[in-house]
C-alpha cells in the first residue's frame, strides 16, 4: 500500500479507506522532499497513532534549557500514551517530520532560527535556513504527510487592538483551510479571546472544549469568561468529531481546547497584570516579533511563574491529545 512516487509510505491498505485517509494518500505525494524519521514513517504506514508537535515553542516560545527539557518531556508523554511523536521543523532548508534528540538539542540552542508560518516556507527553504514551525506552519506539514492531529500549548489569535493593527495570526486562517485537529489550552489572554472565537467561527472551525462544560480556557486559567460553541466529555468523542469532519470532507480544521489542570493554574491576578503590562510594552513591536516578545516579558514579570504553568499545561495537552489520537486511530483501523 505505498505510493511508488513517494519516499513516504502511504497509509496502508489495512486502513479503512475513508475520505480522510484518502485525502492523506493524495497529499502525501507532495511530501516527497520531506525528511520523515523512520519511526514516524513506520507509524504512518501501519496506521499507528502519530501526534504532530510544533517547534516555534522551542525556538521562540521558551528560553533554553526549558525549551529542550519540555520538548523531550512532551515527546515522552506522547509515547507513554501509545502514540508516536512527530516534532516538525525546518533544518538547513529541509522540512523534517520527527526529530532526533540531537536535532532537538541543536534547534533549542540555535540563535538565528526563523519563526516559520505558512508564508515563510518558500523563503526559509530556498535559503537553506533553519526554522521553528508555528501552528500554521506545523499544520501545513502535518497534513501533507497525513498526520491528522497536532498538540501544542496555545494558538495565535486576534491580537488586542487588531481593529487598528490588523494583527491576526495566520493560525486562524490555517485552521479554516487545513483539516488537522489542533489540541491546545485555549487562547492566551495576551490576545483578544472573544474576537478570536468570532474569527474562528467565520473560518468555519469546529471549536470544542474537552471537559465538563463549554467554558473556553485562556491558557493560564480554566475560564476566559467566553463560551466555546460546544464541549465534549471524552477523548473518544473528540476523535469521533474528527471522523465526522472527515466523512463530510470538510477542508477546515478543528480546535480542541483542554483547560489547564487546576494544580498548574497561574495566579489569575498576577498573570493578568503581567499580560497587561507586556501588551502595553509591545506597542512599538510589530509582525512576527509581537508574540515572542509578549511571551518572554510575561515570563520575566511573573518571575518564571507563567513558564511553569506553560510547561504543566503543554504536558497535559500532550497526554489528552495523544488519547484522542489513539482513539481516532482505532476508529479508522
Question: Where do contacts with ligand PSU occur on this chain (CB under 6 A)?
Answer: 54, 56-57, 61, 134-135, 153-156, 169-171, 188, 288, 291, 295
CA-based nearest residue to 268, from 223, 208, 318: 223
167 forms part of the interface with Mn ion (CB under 5 A): yes
The nearest distance, CB 139 to ligand PSU, in angstroms, is 9
Q: Which is nearer to ligand PSU, 81 or 192 (CB)?
A: 192
Q: Which is nearer to ligand PSU, 192 or 327 (CB)?
A: 192
75 forms part of the interface with Mn ion (CB under 5 A): no
Q: In the annotation, is 102 catalytic?
A: no
* SS3 state at 88: strand
Q: What residue number has its CB nearest to Mn ion?
A: 167
| Set 115, 188, 315, 319: catalytic member | 188
Residue with cell 483542554: 258
Q: Total number of residues binding Mn ion (CB under 5 A)?
A: 1
Q: Which is nearer to ligand PSU, 45 or 55 (CB)?
A: 55
Which residues is 123 bridged to in the sheet? Answer: none
| Choices 22-30, 74-82, 163-171, 184-192 (CB under 5 A): range interacting with Mn ion | 163-171
In contact, 55 and 108? CB cutoff 8 Å: no
| Choices 93-101, 159-167, 253-261, 303-311 (CB under 5 A): range interacting with Mn ion | 159-167
Rg (C-alpha) for the chain, rounded Å, is 18
The nearest distance, CB 325 to ligand PSU, in angstroms, is 20
Q: How far apart are CA 131 and CA 129, in angstroms?
A: 7
Q: In the annotation, is 54 catalytic?
A: yes
From the list Mn ion, ligand PSU, none, partner contacted by residue 54 (C-beta under 5 to 8 A by kind): ligand PSU
User: Which contacts qualify for 167-173: CB closer than 8 Å, 24 or more apart?
Assistant: 167/286, 167/290, 168/199, 169/135, 169/136, 169/291, 170/117, 170/118, 170/119, 170/134, 170/136, 171/117, 171/134, 171/135, 171/136, 171/139, 172/196, 172/199, 172/200, 172/203, 172/205, 173/136, 173/203
From the list Mn ion, ligand PSU, none, partner contacted by residue 218 (C-beta under 5 to 8 A by kind): none
192 forms part of the interface with Mn ion (CB under 5 A): no
Q: How far apart are CA 229 and CA 214, in angstroms?
A: 7
Q: Which is nearer to ligand PSU, 174 or 327 (CB)?
A: 174
Give the interface with Mn ion as residue ranges (CB under 5 A). Answer: 167
Amino acid at each position: 500500500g505505498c505510493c511508488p512516487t513517494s519516499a513516504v509510505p502511504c497509509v496502508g491498505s489495512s486502513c479503512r479507506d475513508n475520505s480522510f485517509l484518502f485525502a492523506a494518500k493524495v497529499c502525501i505525494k507532495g511530501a516527497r522532499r520531506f525528511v520523515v524519521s523512520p519511526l514516524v514513517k513506520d507509524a504512518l504506514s501501519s496506521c499507528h497513532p502519530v501526534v504532530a508537535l510544533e517547534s516555534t515553542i522551542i525556538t521562540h516560545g521558551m528560553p533554553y534549557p526549558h525549551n529542550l527539557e519540555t520538548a523531550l518531556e512532551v515527546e515522552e508523554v506522547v509515547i507513554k500514551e501509545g502514540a508516536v511523536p512527530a516534532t516538525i521543523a525546518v533544518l538547513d532548508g529541509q522540512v523534517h517530520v520527527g526529530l532526533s534528540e540531537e536535532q532537538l538539542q541543536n534547534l533549542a540552542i540555535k540563535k538565528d532560527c526563523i519563526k516559520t508560518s505558512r508564508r515563510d516556507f518558500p523563503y526559509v527553504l530556498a535559503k537553506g535556513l533553519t526554522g521553528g514551525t508555528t501552528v500554521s506552519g506545523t499544520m501545513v506539514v502535518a497534513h501533507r504527510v497525513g498526520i491528522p492531529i497536532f498538540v501544542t500549548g496555545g494558538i495565535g489569535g486576534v491580537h488586542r487592538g487588531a481593529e487598528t493593527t490588523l494583527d491576526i495570526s495566520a493560525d486562524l486562517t490555517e485552521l479554516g483551510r487545513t483539516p488537522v485537529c489542533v489540541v491546545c489550552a485555549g487562547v492566551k489572554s495576551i490576545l483578544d479571546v472573544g474576537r478570536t472565537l468570532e474569527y474562528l467561527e467565520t473560518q468555519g472551525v469546529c471549536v470544542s472544549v474537552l471537559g465538563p462544560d463549554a467554558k473556553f480556557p485562556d491558557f493560564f486559567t480554566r475560564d476566559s469568561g467566553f463560551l466555546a460553541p460546544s464541549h465534549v466529555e471524552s477523548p473518544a468523542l473528540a476523535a469521533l468529531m474528527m471522523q465526522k469532519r472527515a466523512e463530510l470532507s470538510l477542508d477546515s480544521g478543528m480546535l480542541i481546547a483542554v483547560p489547564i489542570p487546576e494544580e498548574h493554574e497561574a495566579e489569575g491576578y498576577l498573570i493578568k497584570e503581567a499580560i497587561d503590562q507586556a501588551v502595553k510594552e509591545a506597542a512599538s513591536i510589530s509582525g512576527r516579533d509581537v508574540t515572542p516578545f509578549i511571551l518572554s516579558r510575561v515570563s520575566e514579570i511573573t518571575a518564571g511563574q507563567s513558564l511553569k504553568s506553560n510547561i504543566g499545561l503543554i504536558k497535559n495537552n500532550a497526554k489528552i491529545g495523544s488519547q484522542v489520537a489513539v482513539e481516532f486511530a482505532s476508529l479508522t483501523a
